Amino acid sequence: MDTEKVAEMYRKMLEIRLFEEKVFELYGQNLVPGTIHLYAGEEAVAVGVCSNLRKDDYIVSTHRGHGHCIAKGANLDKTMAEILGRRTGYCGGKGGSMHIADFSIGVLGATAVVGAGIPIATGAGLSIKLRGTDQVAVCFFGDGASNQGTFHEGINLAAIWKLPVIFVCENNLYAMGTRQTQVMLTKNVAERACAYGIPGVTIDGNDVLAVFQATKEAVLRARRGEGPTLVECKTYRHKGHSRFDPATYRPKEEVEEWLSKDPITRLKRQLLQEGTISNAVLAEMEKEVTESVEAAAQFAKKSSFPLPGTALEGVYV
Amino acid sequence: MREITYRDALREALIEEMQRDKTVFLLGEDIGLYWEGAFKVTKELAKRFGVERVRDTPISESAIVGAAVGAAITGMRPVAEIMFGDLVTLAMDQIVNQAAKIHYMFGGQANVPLVIRTPFGGGVNIAAHHSQSLEAWFMHTPGLYVATPSTPYDAKGLLKTAIRNDNPVVFCEHKLLYPIKGLIPEEEFTIPFGSADIKREGADVTIVATMFMVHEALKAAETLEKDNLSVEVVDPRTLIPLDKEAIVSSVKKTGHLIVVTEDCKTAGVGAEIAAIVAEEAIDYLDAPIRRVAEPDTPIPFSPTLEKFVIPNEESIIKAVKEIV
């Protein structure tokens, strides 16, 4: 694979990781109102998928969505400002951490109702088909969402109409504190694809190159008009579900095992071993990313809050 | 002018807007080639515009509305049909949390030009799952417009406006209205939202009525005229936006208000209208406001039971006589 492309994927994953660490830090300083759902640990999914997408392709995101949006090209300053509730944020402070959107780059918004994005992505796929373009729509959702009725309705509709949608299940093994094994008998979410007559694949979601390859197939298939694919990426969140959830429901050994499979250190090790990239280049990259994340934090902190009265604006077009 | 049914008026609006704008398309259960709509509003449309633009869906209300939302935010103007108003419950998240909030929550980045057509109302003995009137739920959801046409003229003009509007619109139809006839102009027309229509002018009592109840109110007004009572019938035509001014100025003229709606009385459409008049024109009232509405029960099946709970000419006349 093209070294430059892999390096770019590494950089994006790092950007998401450092961004999330910064969000966590700012949260600790009481600068983030409400709650946060960090993406740290799952970076390979968003980056592996979005590295196959064009600017005019769509994604639909979730409450754990910072990573999806950054991977699709969202501006760090505006994302951080939105998370801090500032007027310079993507939604002028009306959305917050769970509702980042940037329609100019195809980020159709993060919905915080679990599973609600699935039919919306199907609709974006329908729009693509009716307009006759070769765009695709990607829907990110978790293992928890796969037990919602919208999963069945939305994927079935995309399947029967052969819509250009890639359904990406980020299976991080837990829906809040509920283990996947408590709530479904099949081992893999992707097994459900056969119920809709579409391909379903389960891949190592902490291997960005595997994610890239699997979604590449799915994206090509979608662009050819052959319909949707369900791609399940097994992954793990480093932190708890939200805020300061200590995630004590997860066995220590399990956490340690997954931390050892961290997608970023894994790719870094691989790149260094192969000699495709040098330590010096990686260090330089890390420095640049750290600076851009810090700049986003400064931008957000310096931005003012929206004027209270603007709460009344924009309910209708 | 020519006389057509409410059903055909809706159908004409769909045809004209689909001809005018290629991004307009229809989706819903059994609206296409084989059934042509449970109430035949989409008769022959699939034949005329093709199955790509008149799409039969699985029985998946949440996906119907959700897909319509996804299409609406990416450049299309979907008109989704929910076969019976009662079944909007199955799509409530998509309507209330998604369609209604996207424009606001994402800071105005996206519009949701979506119409959800659905028939409400009772009177045809199909019991509690096919007869409700749930308009008030959508009045309680910022971000939605709610249209409630009572005549063929209003149906056509409001549906054309709904399709052209950049906000999500819950377009409430009524089963008993589909066959009724009315005059519409030969030439193209639209009706702006938030503009009530005085269906009958009067001096003594204001009746604000919606949808099928407009016709019951007009019958009541006719009967009351024989008792020398002059009744004004105001049809808001859209509940959001609501033409408060038309309602308040009518009440200021007559000093009496009856609100007749087919939904449940508690926290219903009538409650909102009564509250507005109490806030803005209480000094003009010569008597208490009366709400004539469904008495907070599910809609029962047996004809004697159903007839008892749905407001009609007699219950309206009774209410009027209580306050004048």
pLDDT tens-digit series, residues B25-49: 999 999 999 999 999 999 999 999 9
State how far the Cα of B190 lies from the Cα of A111, in Å rounded to an integer. 35
Among candidates B22, B82, B78, B165, which has minimal Cα distance to A124? B78
Note whether B73 contacts A102, CB cutoff 8 Å: no
Contact A108 B105 (CB under 8 A): no
Record: contact A120-B73, CB cut-off 8 A: yes
Cross-chain residue pair A101–B110, CB shorter than 8 Å: yes
> How many domains in chain A?
1
Provide the b/e sequence for B249-260 (b: ≥16 CB within 10 Å).
bbbeebbbbbbb
Q: Which residues of B touch A58 (CB under 8 A)?
A: 74
Query: Which of A95, A116, A153 minimises the CB distance to B105?
Result: A95
Same fold, B2-184 and B197-323: yes
Determine whether the interchain pair A124/B70 forms a contact, defined as Cβ–Cβ distance below 8 Å.
Answer: yes
Kindly report the CATH number that applies to the domain delimited by B2-184: 3.40.50.970
- Is the pLDDT score of A300 beyond 80? yes
Catalytic-role residue among B103, B130, B174, B215 = B130
Provide, rounded to the nearest whole percent, the portion of chain B with pLDDT above 70: 100
The two three-digit tokens of residue A171, written as one number: 């299976």
Q: Choose among A95, A104, A130: nearest Cβ to B107.
A: A95
Tell me the residue range of the domain where A176 lies: 3-301
- Which chain A residues are closer than 8 Å to B107 by Cβ? 89-95, 101, 314
Q: According to the model, what pLDDT value does residue B70 have?
A: 98
Chain B residues within 8 Å of chain A (Cβ atoms): 23, 25, 52-53, 55, 57-58, 60, 62-63, 65-76, 78, 93-94, 97-98, 102-111, 142-143, 145, 165-167
- Inter-chain residue contact A90 with B70, CB threshold 8 Å: no
* Of the options 3.40.1650.10, 3.40.50.720, 1.10.10.10, 3.40.50.920, the CATH number for the domain spanning B197-323: 3.40.50.920
- Coil/strand/helix, residue B210: coil
Band (pLDDT 50/70/90 cuts) for residue A216 is very high
* Contact with chain B for residue A60, Cβ under 8 A: yes
Cβ within 8 Å, pair B63-A120: no
Average pLDDT for chain A? 97
Residue A312 lies in a domain: no
- For residues B82-92, average pLDDT: 98
The chain A residue lying nearest B58, using CA atoms, is A157
**Minimal-distance CA residue of chain A relative to B110:** A103
d(CA B33, CA B45): 8
- Domain edges within chain B: 2-184, 197-323
3-state DSSP percent of chain B in helix, strand and coil, to 5: 40, 20, 40
Residue A75 sits at the chain B interface (C-beta within 8 Å):
no
Helix pair angle (B212-225, B313-323), 10° resolution: 60
User: Per-residue pLDDT tens for B218-267?
Assistant: 999 999 999 999 999 999 999 999 999 999 999 999 999 999 999 999 99
Give how far A104 is from chain B: nearest CA, Å. 9
Between helix B152-164 and helix B6-20 the angle, nearest 10°, is 30
B256 is catalytic: no
- pLDDT reading at A47 higher than 90: yes
Concatenated DSSP letters for chain A?
--HHHHHHHHHHHHHHHHHHHHHHHHHHTT-S-S-----TT-HHHHHHHHTT--TTSEEEE-SS-HHHHHHTT--HHHHHHHHTT-TTSTTTTSS-TT---BGGGTEEEE--STTTHHHHHHHHHHHHHHHT----EEEEEETGGGGSHHHHHHHHHHHHTT--EEEEEEE-SEETTEEHHHH-SSS-GGGGGGGGTS-EEEEETT-HHHHHHHHHHHHHHHHTT---EEEEEE---SS-SSTT---TTS-HHHHHHHHHT-HHHHHHHHHHHHTSS-HHHHHHHHHHHHHHHHHHHHHHHHSPPPPGGGGGS-S--
Residue A309: inside a domain = no
Q: Compute the nearest-CA separation of A50 from chain B (Å).
A: 19
Residue B41's pLDDT is 98
**Tokens standing for B24?**
């307009």
The share of chain A scoring above pLDDT 70, in percent, equals: 100
The more confidently predicted of residues A246 and B307 is: B307
Per DSSP, the residues of A183-224 read H-SSS-GGGGGGGGTS-EEEEETT-HHHHHHHHHHHHHHHHT
Contact yes or no for B191/B236 (Cβ under 8 A): no
Give, in order, the Cα–Cα distances in Å from B144 to each of A11, A255, B168, B172. Answer: 42, 45, 5, 12
Q: At what angle do helices A43-50 and A3-28 cross, to 10 degrees?
A: 140
Distance CA(A50)–CA(A68), nearest Å, equals: 8
Contacts of B102 in chain A (CB under 8 A): 109
| Nearest to B114, CA basis, from B145, B156, B152 | B145
Question: What integer pLDDT is reported at residue A243 of this predicted model?
Answer: 82
**B167 to chain A nearest CA, in Å?**
6
Residue contact B107–A317, C-beta within 8 A: no
Chain A hits for B68, Cβ within 8 Å: 123
From the CA of B59, how many Å to the nearest CA of chain A? 9
**Residues B152-163 pLDDT 10s:** 999 999 999 999
Q: Is the pLDDT of residue A1 over 90?
A: no
A284 in a domain, yes or no? Answer: yes
Residue A57 near chain B (CB below 8 Å): no
